[in-house]
Amino acid sequence: MKRERVLLSEQIKRHVNTPKIQKEEFDGNFGTVISTGSTLLDLAISGGRIRGGGMPGGILVEIFGPSGSGKTVMLSEIAGAVQRQGGQIMFHDPEARLNKQFAQMFGLILAEKDHHKPDRVPEVFSAVRKWEVENPKVINGVFADSLAALSTTTEMDNDDGDKMGMRRAKEFSEELRKTCRILTQNNYLMVCSNQVRINIDAGAYGQKYTTPGGESIGFYSSLRLRTLRPEKIKRKIKIKGKEESRVIGVEVHVEVYKSSIWKPYHTAPVVIIFDYGIDDIRTNLQYVKEKVGGTVYSHNGENLDRSLEEAIGIIEESGNEQSLKEEVIELWEEEEKKFDSKRKPKRP
């Protein structure tokens, strides 16, 4: 049985990063991909372009949403994944909120040379253009946590809000125009977080949500992920015969708000446990239970017949995390095929 699991694991490793289709009209280099830490979110991002999905190199990604919706966690998970695949990272932290202890929870090694606390827009993007990486053959990642916290070159000495807002938008546009082609040429993955604002002037057909920095961030981003307001996850246990309840994490639904790497508007649930990070096993078990129509948690047709917490423990103890992920991918692909267009391709 152990040998069968090993063989299955090797098959999965070879199969997960096999490109399904390569279409020139899509952005991104799909030679390799970076996982977000969530199987379902990876699939929502590019599951129809590469088996298992994920983020390709050579693109700009914006993650935007309300406070407390997991944006920093997602950046940290993706940065850790870049390092585990042999890439370097450059982490810009204008609000100086990320610390080494928090980063280690995601397997992210935050060295001083990689951790920057810029004040101004040009500091972030000029650093990307000057970056010299050790191994250009792998995906190297640039991360900026909270673009809204960045000031313009002149804003630090001037308090004219209206003019500074216009100047900030102009600086973002100038810097992105010069930087995005560098991302593509060097196969860098740049992921930024941003605040979300409701656009009260949108009208019936306008863009409902906006982010600070003008329209250039949305324009130059190949992928925009919108995090929705989180829902609390509670765990109940009995202590000395009395039931106690604690909030142990949150569940955030993430929408592919814009995509030029595959299809937009797929959504995925992402569970974040406070002292653990993204809990992919939990979400995958819940997904399998929903799709197979079972009354208990299961894996490959075998009922675990336990609570969710106990089922998670069984998967971890048996080393079946990867085969559970493979089961989710197969179920997702089976459902996605039903939505494929059967139309005859247009020809010139």
pLDDT averages per 10-residue partition of the chain, 348 residues: 42 45 72 97 97 98 92 96 97 88 88 93 95 96 92 57 68 94 97 77 57 82 95 90 92 97 97 94 97 92 90 96 98 94 79
31: burial class by Cβ within 10 Å (0-12, 13-18, 19+)? middle
- 147 within a domain of the structure (yes/no): yes
pLDDT computed for residue 237 by the predictor: 87
Rounded to a whole number of angstroms, the CA Rg of the chain reads 21
Residue 172 structural domain:
55-227
- 133 within a domain of the structure (yes/no): yes
- 75 within a domain of the structure (yes/no): yes
Q: Against a cut of 0.95, is the pTM above it?
A: no
pLDDT computed for residue 205 by the predictor: 56
Helix (H, G, I), strand (E, B) or coil at 158: coil
- 235 within a domain of the structure (yes/no): no
- 85 within a domain of the structure (yes/no): yes
Tell me how far CA of residue 316 lies from CA of 37, 116, 280, 313, 339, in angstroms: 16, 36, 11, 5, 33
pLDDT computed for residue 36 by the predictor: 98
pLDDT computed for residue 95 by the predictor: 87
| Cβ proximity of 37 and 74 under 8 Å | yes
CA distance 343 to 346: 9
H or E segment to which residue 114 belongs: none
CA distance 147 to 92: 9
- 35 within a domain of the structure (yes/no): no
| Cβ proximity of 278 and 37 under 8 Å | yes
Residues in contact with 128: Cβ distance below 8 Å, sequence separation at least 6, in sequence order: 90, 142, 179, 182, 183, 188, 190
CA distance 74 to 63: 9
- 292 within a domain of the structure (yes/no): no
- 77 within a domain of the structure (yes/no): yes
CATH of the domain at 144: 3.40.50.300
The count of domains in the chain is 1
